[in-house]
Amino acid sequence: MESMEKLSKVNIVYTNKLNEKILKKENVLVIYDQFLNHFPDVKKFISKYTNYPVDAGEELKNIEHFAGHIKNILNLTAEFSVSDMTILAIGGGTVGDFSGFVASVFKRGVKLIHVPSTWLSAIDSAHGGKTALNVPPSKNQIGTFYQAQKIIIIKELLFSQPPERSFDALGELLKILLLCGTQSKWAQFFKNKIKNKNQLLWDNLPWAISSKYKIVKKDPFEKSGLRQILNLGHTLGHVLELEWSMSHGVAVQQGLCFALNWSLQNKLMTKKTHHLIFDVFTKFEIHQKLDQISLKNTESILLKDKKNLGNSKVNFIFLKSFGKVIREPVKISDLVIEMRRQGYKFT
Amino acid sequence: MESMEKLSKVNIVYTNKLNEKILKKENVLVIYDQFLNHFPDVKKFISKYTNYPVDAGEELKNIEHFAGHIKNILNLTAEFSVSDMTILAIGGGTVGDFSGFVASVFKRGVKLIHVPSTWLSAIDSAHGGKTALNVPPSKNQIGTFYQAQKIIIIKELLFSQPPERSFDALGELLKILLLCGTQSKWAQFFKNKIKNKNQLLWDNLPWAISSKYKIVKKDPFEKSGLRQILNLGHTLGHVLELEWSMSHGVAVQQGLCFALNWSLQNKLMTKKTHHLIFDVFTKFEIHQKLDQISLKNTESILLKDKKNLGNSKVNFIFLKSFGKVIREPVKISDLVIEMRRQGYKFT
């Protein structure tokens, strides 16, 4: 299977294997997760290019290391033509966020191609042009909007991911189904027995990706707020990701549970819809985890949230029903009260 | 005098004094050259805002200090509403480059207002949306294109600059006259006796600024190359600025001499035009300085030039006559030969 979809100015290429015909050798720097050296095909591909191996993970995005990375990349690309330079990023979300940020500021911007190597990046972070660095303990405080020219999605690479990785991506797939799907799509989607999560994700990838682009296109720079609906499940998700050191995907699943329960509590969502959704969550073994959490840290992370409106309020995304979203400013103190009501134990 | 000009989406405001009516107090961070604390009016104005004093100069743009600055700025603005946040930069070129870069990447972009405090920034660097950090020994290797919403030009502030600062800005004014003016404008411009450089700059500021915007608008992200004509005098200028520790303005004057002489040598420019131009240079006491310079460093700086085309070539801007420019790839080795011909002594 090799197909190409043009979404705005982005080309999404679906292909089976990483192959050298993808692009020329000159003026290309490959920034890649060095764990991928375990895959002989990938290793062979990368070795033909000027390349910069990195350790994937949030530490890669730490702003403290940024100057050092830039110096290394300047040395590697000293002889490149700037007007023709391309950064090809092969890796998951953190490698994509980091490489995208570098591409957006290197000599005031060079071309960018993403090859997402994890399901989560293939379905979500490689799309939409968000790049980011972290200022620990906060995530993504620094960044740009910078659209990749091309995103190459490689079946073989994604299917070689361990099962946790496909579970990770499930949260984002469920989120986009809730945001852009219908009740009948939801029902149909899950009526069959779930045998292979990889195949489930692969089959739904083109629909999920194009649904995301439809939202992003309405508000590419997150100015009108329309794009913020993609943050469904992310407000509390980011807190749990940091406080409980959860993977982003699992934290978003937890954040979805919280947002849907709050939507029910606020009588925005009917009990029937809430049931329909949580039946599927249960089927996929997604359960709300209600452990201890620091009140002080929760408040401080929410205060630094990019959706912070000042006056200790954040924009929160509620769901009415499939495809029907409400974005509403909520007080951080009210969010904390709701957490307590749902059963989180503050320390 | 208080007038407002709308150029693309940028507002240029010309005013006599810095005053508090300029903008609200909430969610504004003033980043300013702390030398300006010597001016009581400016000091009083700044004290009413959340503010971040910096030391102006190329070291401010050093990428090594970037993480530290961002942490300080995050702390100062912890309670700000991100969607409404504005950075107000008061200072010369380096403060503007730095603050503009911060505004462009802080939480993926906040609003930006420039108050240029030097003639050079008022006539050139505050306009056109270029932001930059340095990766020493190279300048401006990192940056973004990020347009300020507003640029406020304050007569009192500019007239309080020492005479060297107005001499600095003269190079950029002459450059824009050569790029966008006519022979008769050139003649008329300088027929009167030069008494007061400040007044000369002030009177010609609106024309010079709108001329620059006309070029920038054709190629805002420097993709087509059209915008590169603004680099007239800058290719060698950047080398001399670094190697001889010259001010940017004076280095550009030197670079202009070199580019015009080379244009004559290549028979692109007539002797008559060359004479007309250099008569004025002499009147303003701009003379070509032909000191010793390191060949190795010259070549290495040119290789890192953002106009580098690969294959050891750079785009060089030649002038045929007033308003007539030629952009041409030249070999770095040919540029070095021409430097030798003009009398530079290589070590």
Measured in angstroms, the CA of B142 and the nearest CA of chain A are apart by 5
pLDDT digits (tens, 9 = 90+) for A183-242: 998 888 777 666 688 998 999 999 999 999 999 998 888 888 889 999 999 999 999 998
Structure tokens at A88: 């090809």
Sort out which chain A residues have CB atoms less than 8 A from B309's CB and list them: 81, 83
Residue A318: strand pairing partners: A326
Select the residue from B111, B141, B219 to test the A interface by mutation, using most A Cβ atoms within 10 A: B141
| Identity of the residue in B143, B222, B308 whose CB atom sits nearest the CB atom of A105 | B143
Residue A86: strand pairing partners: A28, A111
> In terms of C-beta density within 10 A (0-12 exposed, 13-18 middle, 19 or more buried), how is residue B247 classed?
middle
What sections of A108-192 are H helices per DSSP? Answer: 119-120, 155-159, 163-180, 183-189
- C-alpha distances in Å from residue B288, one per residue of A12, A99, B213, B260: 54, 43, 29, 11
Q: What is the pLDDT of residue A7?
A: 45
Distance CA B82, CA B26 (A): 11
B152, B3 Cβ separation under 8 angstroms = no
| ipTM entry | 0.90
Q: How many CB pairs under 8 A join A and B?
A: 110
Write down the pTM of the prediction.
Answer: 0.91
Distance CA A114, CA A105 (A): 16
Distance CA B24, CA A328 (A): 25
Distance CA B126, CA B209 (A): 10
Sort out which chain A residues have CB atoms less than 8 A from B71's CB and list them: 135
Structure tokens at B112: 């930006």
Sort out which chain A residues have CB atoms less than 8 A from B9's CB and list them: none
Distance CA B202, CA B159 (A): 9
- Interface contact B109-A221, CB threshold 8 A: yes
Residue B325: strand pairing partners: B319
Spatial CA neighbour of A96 closest among A130, A67, A62, A65:
A130
Chain B residues with CB-CB distance to A under 8 A? Answer: 26-27, 63-64, 66-67, 70-71, 74, 78-84, 101, 104-109, 130, 132, 135, 138, 141-145, 221-222, 303-304, 306-311
Structure tokens at A317: 């995304």
> Chain A: residue nearest B224 by CA?
A83
Q: How confident is the model at residue A6 (pLDDT cuts 50, 70, 90)?
A: very low
| Identity of the residue in B79, B143, B303 whose CB atom sits nearest the CB atom of A108 | B143
pLDDT digits (tens, 9 = 90+) for A225-270: 889 999 999 999 999 998 999 999 999 999 999 999 999 999 999 9
* Tokens 């730095």 found at: B98
Structure tokens at A59: 């530490």
Q: Residue B267 corresponds to which amino acid? A: K
Structure tokens at B12: 């240029």
- Interface contact B142-A105, CB threshold 8 A: yes
Going by the DSSP 8-state scheme, the letter that residue B70 receives in this structure is H
Q: What is the pLDDT of residue A137?
A: 82
Q: How confident is the model at residue A306 (pLDDT cuts 50, 70, 90)?
A: low
Q: Residue A207 corresponds to which amino acid? A: W
**B226 vs A5, which has greater pLDDT?**
B226
Give buried/exposed letters for B208-233 (b at 16+ CB in 10 A, else e). bbebbbebbeeebebeeebbbbbbbb
Q: What is the pLDDT of residue B193?
A: 65
Residue B317: strand pairing partners: B327
Sort out which chain B residues have CB atoms less than 8 A from A142's CB and list them: 70, 105-107
Select the residue from A9, A82, A144, A146 to test the B interface by mutation, using most B Cβ atoms within 10 A: A82
Sort out which chain B residues have CB atoms less than 8 A from A67's CB and list them: 63-64, 66-67, 135
Distance CA B125, CA B131 (A): 9
| Identity of the residue in A27, A108, A310 whose CB atom sits nearest the CB atom of B81 | A310
Sort out which chain B residues have CB atoms less than 8 A from A224's CB and list them: none
Q: What is the pLDDT of residue B311?
A: 76
- Interface contact B304-A81, CB threshold 8 A: no
Residues 6+ apart with CB under 8 A from B291: B244, B344, B345
| Identity of the residue in B71, B81, B109 whose CB atom sits nearest the CB atom of A135 | B71
Distance CA A8, CA A27 (A): 25
Sort out which chain B residues have CB atoms less than 8 A from A50's CB and list them: none
User: Is A1's pLDDT higher than 80?
Assistant: no
Sort out which chain A residues have CB atoms less than 8 A from B132's CB and list them: 108
Side-chain-side CA neighbours of B165 within 13 Å: the count stands at: 19
Spatial CA neighbour of B90 closest among B21, B11, B151, B23:
B151
- C-alpha distances in Å from residue A44, one per residue of A18, A29, A160, B192, B335: 10, 15, 17, 70, 40
* Tokens 């303990």 found at: A137
Distance CA A338, CA A316 (A): 13
Q: Omega of the bond prior to B220 within 30 degrees of 0, cis?
A: no
Other Cβ atoms within 10 Å of B280 Cβ, number: 17
Question: What is the separation of C-alpha B289 from the centre of its chain, rounded to a whole number of angstroms?
Answer: 21
Distance CA A269, CA A259 (A): 11
SS3 B51: strand
pLDDT (tens digit, 0 to 9) for every residue of chain B, 347 residues total?
334 444 456 899 999 988 767 778 889 999 999 999 999 999 999 999 999 999 999 999 999 999 999 999 999 998 898 888 999 999 999 999 999 999 999 999 999 999 999 999 999 999 999 999 999 888 899 999 999 999 999 999 999 988 888 888 999 999 999 999 999 988 887 776 666 889 989 999 999 999 999 999 988 888 888 899 999 999 999 999 989 999 999 999 999 999 999 999 999 999 999 999 999 999 889 999 999 999 999 998 898 776 677 778 999 999 999 999 999 999 999 999 999 999 999 99
Question: What is the separation of C-alpha A297 from the centre of its chain, rounded to a whole number of angstroms?
Answer: 23
| Identity of the residue in B70, B80, B82 whose CB atom sits nearest the CB atom of A135 | B70
- Rg (chain B; Cα; Å): 20
* Tokens 């070539």 found at: B313
Mean pLDDT for chain A overall: 91
**Which of A15-19, A97-101, B264-268 has the least mean pLDDT?**
A15-19
Distance CA B109, CA B147 (A): 11
Measured in angstroms, the CA of B25 and the nearest CA of chain A are apart by 14
Q: What is the pLDDT of residue B81?
A: 86
> Chain A: residue nearest B146 by CA?
A108
- Interface contact A79-B310, CB threshold 8 A: yes
A1, A64 Cβ separation under 8 angstroms = no
- C-alpha distances in Å from residue B321, one per residue of B38, B169, B260, B326: 44, 22, 10, 10
Distance CA A200, CA A193 (A): 10
- Interface contact A63-B70, CB threshold 8 A: yes
Give buried/exposed letters for A168-190 (b at 16+ CB in 10 A, else e). bbbbbbbbbbbbbbeeeebeebb
